[in-house]
Chains A and B, each alone.
Chain A
């Protein structure tokens, strides 16, 4: 049972050897010294037996719906603080606003439901599923009304997909204004969604494939958010979801029903879905004309720029953090692409001059967040960390200056450029825009 001390120390030693080797591999005597120093940091004289080992714990159902440890109370969604956000960046009304996911604290590819980013145009409704219905009409043989309970009886699918607001990373558009990865890039999250393919529901309604060109999707929220989706896309991989990470959708995410349009900007994934109208013409709703269109530098604007292009961001270390000491750190980050799977992520620690392949540290799902890691020693010298995503189409994530040049300064949505974090000699991590 009890391992002999001798054996344990051998294991320790071999681990130390491994660390030495990998430090040497990193090619710096300074790193070697610093990691040696860490091994001799004085330990407390003798281990204390803590109070939780000497008293009885909480009973079952202490929380009938489980909560994170109270020591994790800092891991929450946040609004931008108007005091340190760019001028006029924070909306006036909280019902037409957003809150950001704490990316730096996430592990793996799934965003816990309570931390999924929020974005509303008129607050989120509290919908009674007994009274909610999905209506399918327009260019169909039969108008269908489907209750939530009946919808759940259709053959279902489970898919892991990211959702990203097209305004994500807006504060990095040209000006260096955001500071943390949460505040700059926290309008992206990823979940496993459960639902019914639109193609199946349209077949039930008897869609007129000769005339159908678009489907207008509409929510049951106060502003009845509405968008037009090309029928080719609608029949491809779009589905009506009712569950998220194993439980019913959160109200913030569209309870009881929402649309999932994989790889496409968040706003077209209509929440609180109440109506799907098959048409031969787009609606040109306010949120596909006045908003969510991309005004270029030459005064023309792109419409229906739905795809969220390949992007990656290092979440640790990231803006606002301070590395507590020199030594080994695992650089960790997220990569995703609306065009399919991530095929590689590269990391540079010298501001983009030299790059190395990162480890892919999660499963890779198309149009989902993929996690990557990269071993790194902080030597106390200045470093600039950048990650670069490459997707299955061969697309390589660009620099911000390239997007500014090819789109102009009025653009703002769809900023998928590379994030650079400068590590100062004191370990402070700062946002820089390249």
Chain B
């Protein structure tokens, strides 16, 4: 068969066309026919990676890595203890009358919004340390160091046992004690009428102070943070 018979000719032509279309496809996605103003530059997922640091409860975007209690303890005592105190027990303040820096474990009487008692997802701890801590040098920790710190803090908070090696595989599976402690916002939760004359005030007997209004977390309240079913 000759290289240039009709069928082969069409075959190569088709191949060439496909190649051309394939190579301009990314440009087509950028095409101004799909954007009204076309002022944004189309960029790839890889390009965004250094900024794409959020870790949601699915754990899908966790970077590869692992860390243990002992490793976490060492990093904590180097990089965190000055502000959050030994074992995360807090109490460190930069002036006598100032508010102490956050405790990372629960030691004061209830209720306390500490990690072990209040935070609904362990991924939040990874996400937060990755983006925001240590305070003066945020985004300086490597994934393994963050896994180690999360392990250390969760163990100090009695959420997981001391021998757990935390990894991108098991972090999202941790069930935090207060996972079901959140409901949607159902305000308004007071229902006053605008009394104009001879009105009662909370100082008077017979003034109705109201009560806690609750709904379940499946509420349709539009702003509510709910995981996909």
Given contacts A275-B51, A303-B224, contact A289 B121 (CB under 8 A): yes
B125 to chain A, nearest CB (A): 8
Taking a contact as CB atoms closer than 8 A, the residue among B56, B58, B95, B193 that contacts A92 in the complex is: B95
B223 interface residue per 8 A CB criterion: yes
| Bound CA–CA A136/B39 (angstroms) | 13
Report the minimum CB–CB distance from A124 to chain B (whole Å): 14
Instruction: Say how far A10's CB is from chain B's closest CB, in angstroms.
Output: 39
User: Most chain-A CB neighbours within 10 Å: which of B44, B98, B125?
Assistant: B98
Main secondary structure of the interface of B (DSSP, over half): loop
- Check if B3 is an interface residue, CB within 8 A of chain A: no
Query: Is the CB–CB distance between A402 and B37 below 8 Å?
Result: no
B40 within 8 A of A: yes
Closest B residue, CB atoms, query A205: B40
Residue B13 lies at the interface, judged by CB distance under 8 Å to chain A: no
Q: How many of chain A's residues touch chain B, expressed as a range?
A: 35 or more
Query: Which residues in B have their C-beta under 8 angstroms from that of A355?
Result: 194-197, 199
> Are A352 and B194 neighbours in the complex by a CB distance under 8 Å?
no
Asked if A401 CB lies within 8 Å of chain B CBs, one says yes
Smallest CB separation, A216 vs chain B (Å): 6
Q: How far is the CA of A344 from the CA of B196 in the complex (A)?
A: 13
Within 8 A of B (CB), among A225-243: 226, 228-230, 232-233
CB distance from B168 to the nearest CB of A (A): 17
A274 to B121, CA, bound (A): 25
A214 to B120, CA, bound (A): 18
**A146-B40, A284-B57 in contact; A406/B190 too (CB < 8 A)?**
yes
When distances are taken between beta carbons in the complex, the residues of chain A under 8 Å from B124 are: 284-286, 289-290
In the assembled complex, the Cα of A281 lies from the Cα of B224 at a distance in Å of 11
Q: Is the CB of A290 within 8 A of B40?
A: no
- A228–B123 CA distance with the chains assembled, in angstroms: 15
Bound state CA distance, A216 and B211, in angstroms? Answer: 34
The count of residues in chain B whose C-beta lies closer than 8 Å to any C-beta of chain A is 86
In contact, B29 and A145 (Cβ under 8 angstroms): no
A174 within 8 A of B: no
Residues of A within 8 A of B132 (CB): 121-122, 222-224, 286
Residues on A with beta carbons closer than 8 Å to the beta carbon of B125: 286
| Pair A305/B185 contact, Cβ less than 8 Å | yes
**CB-based contact A283/B40 at 8 Å:** no
Given A298-B212, A304-B225, also A226-B42 (CB < 8 A): no
CA distance A354 to B199 in the complex (A): 6
Known contacts A122-B132, A286-B128, A303-B225; decide if A153 and B37 are in contact (CB<8 Å). yes
Inter-chain contact B101/A88, CB cutoff 8 Å: no
| Closest chain B residue, CB of each to CB of A397 | B192
- Are A304 and B223 in contact, with the CB atoms below 8 A? yes
Choose one: A87, A96, A281, A295; the contact of B113 (CB below 8 Å): A295
Assembled-state Cα–Cα distance A226/B139 (Å): 14
> Given the complex, which residues of A lie within 8 Å of B48, measured CB to CB?
135, 137, 143
B18 at the interface (CB under 8 A from A): no
Contacts of A145 in B (CB 8 A): 40-43, 47
Residues of A within 8 A of B227 (CB): 281-282
CB-based contact B198/A282 at 8 Å: no
B127 within 8 A of A: yes
> In this complex, what residue of A is CB-closest to B125?
A286
B residues 85-99 touching A (CB-CB < 8 Å): 92-95, 97-99
Which A positions have Cβ atoms within 8 angstroms of B? 82-83, 85, 87-93, 95-96, 121-122, 135-137, 141-146, 150-151, 153-155, 200-201, 203-206, 213-214, 216, 218, 222-224, 226, 228-230, 232-233, 274-275, 277, 279-286, 288-291, 293-307, 309, 344, 346, 351-356, 388, 390, 393, 395-408, 410, 414, 434
Q: Which residues of B contact A (CB under 8 A)?
A: 29-30, 34-45, 47-48, 51-58, 92-95, 97-101, 111, 113, 115, 118-121, 123-125, 127-128, 131-133, 135, 138-139, 181-190, 192-199, 201-203, 209-214, 221-228
Q: Give 5 CB contacts A-B under 8 Å.
A: A281-B56, A290-B115, A298-B212, A407-B189, A434-B203
16 new A-B pairs (CB below 8 Å) besides A121-B132, A277-B54?
Answer: A88-B98, A88-B99, A122-B138, A135-B48, A204-B35, A229-B223, A233-B223, A284-B57, A303-B183, A303-B224, A304-B223, A353-B198, A355-B197, A400-B202, A405-B209, A407-B189
